């Protein structure tokens, strides 16, 4: 933005010119855009153009043929001054002046007639412009509505085999949860053979699975879990169920959070330009940049690996193309970012069989740190009364768009000291992906959750290579080799090929062969043909199994789904079929299968119940967050997420909306066409931001009553004047009288008192509605307003 000249400054300039300017000798008149200067000091108010971009009016100093500009001009032009440049002994309004010639690439052109100057500098001298994607603001979490929910999933099986008595089994899986502002407490159970049929071979049983309290801290991206959960495994650890405490970072609490490093792309524009960014040949971003260097960072499109082509087009249409490769991985952390977890408790034994079987106590911790955008460090420690294990590792971006992994762990326990090592290498591009991993351990190495009497694997090698062609499909090969301390080794190789057939069909072939430790070859051919309306047909063939199937998946558009299969299983004829129904209150399934000597029939259902705000709702499984939507006084109003109507309000005007995404904006919307004409509502859509597996209340205030056209007259028998204000007694809403003394008033009940205000005068009169439909708009009047004069 340029500097504008005040009258005081104009006067000061006149004094400077009169007192300090020395006339130039009688040289030939310079041509326009050229300068021949013989002045001592000359202040020039000029319209300045910087590398083709208007910069406003600035006061430039000319002394001895050199041009100078004030410090704030350099700052606004985005040109950093070199540290060794000194100002001249001249100040104007406390502004020091610096030589323009100190900036690389400097050129100056003066247009005397237009009192303007064009300054040219090298593009590299300008401060870099950062084209950063604006991070979405963290939405404010809505207040938690205390609630109780129950999930159920039951299955009934009746099967016969070889003319034996039928086996009947009823199983039930349940989960009970309580959520409030303190967190979420859940407990799951499984019941087996609830009919207590002796033929099933096992007695009736009821077993507790998991009981966990979860508290999220979204502002800090952290989660606390108390009860049954599992450890974070890290690069070399194991996933172990335990009962106790876990406190960890959790980036999922911030929607859109990108934990991996984002590549930085750089370029330079010689003048104000437009930058088009193509990622792997697809236009992803268009930005405007000023003159100088620019940097593109924090772009979510730059993930994985590939090529970027940036087309820099200036105002004259000249193009510069910048091409650059990029590489990143989800296994890397952004520079300076920490990802961690600490656990303490007792290891869980016989999960799903025993309700409360816990092993020895332990503590463990995992910490990952983004040392730089190309290097992530990791450390992990585990400790039990009989075992100590510690290890470190790193993940690093390598040349040629490769990613390397390495880790080393040491243990000391009852079996003695031991060690484990891991090395991995992978490379992925648009068409080609390669990976290789080697892991080995000594005989005495043990880690958390590993039986002391079970030795580790001595050496395991795994690798694969895949390549996707443009027209001939994709194919790959792989191998796995496992060596144990008892001198046994198993090695297999495999190959796969996938080809698109027609517009939507896919054909896949998989072959594997054991080459060491055992023998055998297996091959599978699979074909799938998607159809309209969520239907598909598939076929599969292998040595012992071959079948053809057709199915239609159930969803919100198609509540009824089905499937049918016919072919051979284990060399025997086999048929099966089933139907499933996905409705507002859950899902129901029915299946039947038959093969020689064996028949089976299954029935099942799953769904949920929610108790919130003194209302009980039947719904689908409550696996995510949910909302209680209220349209007070209006039943059977369609309501859902976005444009999808998921349910309708009950007699109380309340509905339960499932499947909300936690910590994100969810658009809860009602169907306006379901509201009567007389209903007034400020908005049909509201955002809800629920906590994890918790409820929020979304109220849609609707102004009820009925609308009517009232005709009002004064004592003189003439219509009330336009602009008079009407108000229902006890209602804040105001209505205005229009022409002919008529006013449309809403919110009317069967009997009403109406106030009219005109020029500080007030009258009150009664309005009674006729017995008609709520959607009728009656015309009432004339209604007499006594005591108000014009």
* CATH number of the domain where residue 82 is located: 3.10.20.410
**β-strands 706-713, 779-784 pairing:** parallel
Buried b / exposed e over 429-441, threshold 16 CB at 10 Å, is: beeebbbeeebbb
Calculate what percentage of the chain has a pLDDT beyond 90: 55
Q: Are residues 681 and 720 in the same domain?
A: no
Highest mean pLDDT among 197-211, 292-306, 635-649: 635-649
pLDDT for 42: 85
pLDDT band for position 554 (50/70/90)?
confident
Q: Are residues 736 and 667 in the same domain?
A: no
Tens digit of each residue's pLDDT (9 = 90 or more) over 669-701: 999 888 887 777 878 999 999 999 999 999 998
Tell me which residue of 762, 782, 790 sits closest to 712, measured CA to CA.
782
Q: Are residues 37 and 121 in the same domain?
A: yes
In a domain, 47, yes or no: yes
Q: Are residues 656 and 728 in the same domain?
A: no
Average pLDDT of span 128-135? 74
- Nearest 5°: the CA angle 385, 387, 389 is 130
* CA atoms 646, 649, 655, 660: torsion sign: positive
In a domain, 291, yes or no: yes
Tens digit of each residue's pLDDT (9 = 90 or more) over 453-470: 889 999 999 999 999 998
Residue where the block lists tokens 């080393």? 408
For 598-643, where are the E strands, in sequence order?
Answer: 598-612, 615-619, 625-630, 638-641
How many other C-beta atoms can be found within 10 angstroms of the C-beta atom of residue 698? 24
Q: What is the mean pLDDT of the chain?
A: 87
Q: Are residues 754 and 650 in the same domain?
A: no
- Of 657, 683, 703, which residue constitutes the final position of a domain? 703
In a domain, 762, yes or no: yes
Tell me which residue of 750, 498, 682, 598 sits closest to 163, measured CA to CA.
598
Tell me which residue of 293, 294, 367, 296 sits closest to 337, measured CA to CA.
367
pLDDT for 680: 78
Q: Are residues 668 and 742 in the same domain?
A: no
Q: Are residues 696 and 718 in the same domain?
A: no
User: What's the CATH code of the domain at 661?
Assistant: 2.60.40.2610
Q: How far is C-alpha 515 from the chain's CA centre?
A: 45
In a domain, 420, yes or no: no
User: What's the CATH code of the domain at 314?
Assistant: 2.60.40.3110
228, containing H or E segment: strand 222-230
Q: Are residues 678 and 737 in the same domain?
A: no
Q: Are residues 719 and 748 in the same domain?
A: yes
pLDDT surpasses 70 at 13: no
Q: Is 72 helix (H, G, I), strand (E, B) or coil?
A: helix
- Of 654, 678, 703, which residue constitutes the final position of a domain? 703
Contacts for 596 with CB less than 8 Å, ≥ 6 apart: 572, 573
- Of 98, 127, 156, which residue constitutes the final position of a domain? 127
Residue where the block lists tokens 């108790």? 611
Average pLDDT of span 548-553? 94
Helix then strand count (H, E) for the chain reads: 2, 55
Tell me which residue of 127, 132, 128 sits closest to 302, measured CA to CA.
132
User: What's the CATH code of the domain at 721?
Assistant: 2.60.40.2070
Q: Are residues 659 and 699 in the same domain?
A: yes
Buried b / exposed e over 267-283, threshold 16 CB at 10 Å, is: bbbbbbbebbbbbeeee
State which residues form the domain around 671.
613-703
Cβ(462)–Cβ(479) under 8 Å?
A: yes
In a domain, 366, yes or no: no
Q: How far apart are the first and last CA of the chain?
A: 57
Number of Cα atoms under 13 Å in the Cβ half of residue 549: 22
In a domain, 688, yes or no: yes
pLDDT for 26: 33
Q: Are residues 30 and 95 in the same domain?
A: yes
Number of folded domains that form the chain: 4
Q: Are residues 698 and 754 in the same domain?
A: no
Tell me which residue of 529, 459, 524, 464 sits closest to 493, measured CA to CA.
464
């Amino acid at each position: 933005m340029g500097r504008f000249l005040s009258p005081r400054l104009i006067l000061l300039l006149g004094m400077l010119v009169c007192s300090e300017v020395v006339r130039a000798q009688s040289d030939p008149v310079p041509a326009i855009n050229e300068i021949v200067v013989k002045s001592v000091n000359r202040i020039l108010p000029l319209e300045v153009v910087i590398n083709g971009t208007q910069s406003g009016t600035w006061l430039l100093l000319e002394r001895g043929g050199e041009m100078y500009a004030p410090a704030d001009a350099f700052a606004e032009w985005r040109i950093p001054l070199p540290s060794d440049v000194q100002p001249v002994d001249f100040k104007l309004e406390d502004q020091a002046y610096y030589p323009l010639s100190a900036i690389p690439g400097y050129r100056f052109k003066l247009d005397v007639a237009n009192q303007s100057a064009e300054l040219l500098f090298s593009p590299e001298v300008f401060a870099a412009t950062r084209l950063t994607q604006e991070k979405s603001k963290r939405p404010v979490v809505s207040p938690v509505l205390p609630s109780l929910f129950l999930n159920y999933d039951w299955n009934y099986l009746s099967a016969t085999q070889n003319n034996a008595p039928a086996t009947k089994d009823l199983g039930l899986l349940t989960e009970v949860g309580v959520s409030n502002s303190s967190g979420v407490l859940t407990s799951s159970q499984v019941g087996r053979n609830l009919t207590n049929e002796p033929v099933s071979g096992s007695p009736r049983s009821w077993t507790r699975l998991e009981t966990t309290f979860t508290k999220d801290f979204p502002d800090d991206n952290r989660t606390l879990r108390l009860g049954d959960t599992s450890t974070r495994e890290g690069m070399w650890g194991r996933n172990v169920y335990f009962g106790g405490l876990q406190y960890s970072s959790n980036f999922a609490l911030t929607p859109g959070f990108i934990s991996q490093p984002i590549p930085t792309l750089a370029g330079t524009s010689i003048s104000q330009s437009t930058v088009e960014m193509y990622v792997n040949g697809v236009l992803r971003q268009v930005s405007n940049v000023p003159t100088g260097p620019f940097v593109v960072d924090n772009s979510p499109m730059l993930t994985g690996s590939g090529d970027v082509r940036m087309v820099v087009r200036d105002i004259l249409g000249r193009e510069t193309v910048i091409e650059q490769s990029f590489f990143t991985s989800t296994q890397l952390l952004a520079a300076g970012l920490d990802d961690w977890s600490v656990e303490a408790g007792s290891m869980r034994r016989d999960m799903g069989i025993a309700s409360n079987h816990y092993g020895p106590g332990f503590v463990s911790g995992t910490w990952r740190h983004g040392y730089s955008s190309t290097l992530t460090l990791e450390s992990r420690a585990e400790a039990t009364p009989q075992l100590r294990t510690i290890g470190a590792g790193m993940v690093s971006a390598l040349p040629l768009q490769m990613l390397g992994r390495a880790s080393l762990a040491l243990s000391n326990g009852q079996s003695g000291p031991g060690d484990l090592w891991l090395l991995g290498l992978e490379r992925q591009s648009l068409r080609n992906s390669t990976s290789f991993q080697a892991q080995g351990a000594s005989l005495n190495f043990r880690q958390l959750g590993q039986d002391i009497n079970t030795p580790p694997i001595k050496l395991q090698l795994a690798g694969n290579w895949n390549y996707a062609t443009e027209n001939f499909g994709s194919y790959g090969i792989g191998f796995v080799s496992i060596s144990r301390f008892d001198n046994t080794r198993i090695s297999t190789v495999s190959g796969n090929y996938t080809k698109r057939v027609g517009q939507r069909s896919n054909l896949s072939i998989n072959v594997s062969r054991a080459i060491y430790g055992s023998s055998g070859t297996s091959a599978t051919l699979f074909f799938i043909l998607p159809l309209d309306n969520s239907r598909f047909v598939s076929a599969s063939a292998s040595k012992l199994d071959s079948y053809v199937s057709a199915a239609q998946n159930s969803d919100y558009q198609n509540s009824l789904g089905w499937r049918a299969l016919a072919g051979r299983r284990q060399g025997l004829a086999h048929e099966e079929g089933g139907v499933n129904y996905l409705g507002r209150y859950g899902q129901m399934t029915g299946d039947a299968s038959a093969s020689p000597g064996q028949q089976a029939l299954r029935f099942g259902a799953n769904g949920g119940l929610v108790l919130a705000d003194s209302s009980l709702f039947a719904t689908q499984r409550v696996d995510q967050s949910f909302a209680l939507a209220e349209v007070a006084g209006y039943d059977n109003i369609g309501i859902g997420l976005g444009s999808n109507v998921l349910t309708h309000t009950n007699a109380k005007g309340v509905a339960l909306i499932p499947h909300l995404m936690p910590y994100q904006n969810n658009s809860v919307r009602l169907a306006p066409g379901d509201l009567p004409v007389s209903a007034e509502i400020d908005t049909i859509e509201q955002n809800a931001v629920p906590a994890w597996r918790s409820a929020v209340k979304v109220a849609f205030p609707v102004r009820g009553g009925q609308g009517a056209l009232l005709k009002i007259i004064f004592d003189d028998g003439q219509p009330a004047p336009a602009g008079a204000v009407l108000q229902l007694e006890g209602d804040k809403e105001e209505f205005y009288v229009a022409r002919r003394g008529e006013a449309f008033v809403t919110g009317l009940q069967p009997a009403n008192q109406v106030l009219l205000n005109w020029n500080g005068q007030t009258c009150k009169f009664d309005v009674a509605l006729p017995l008609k439909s709520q959607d009728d708009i009656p015309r009432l009047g004339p209604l007499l307003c006594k005591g108000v004069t014009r």
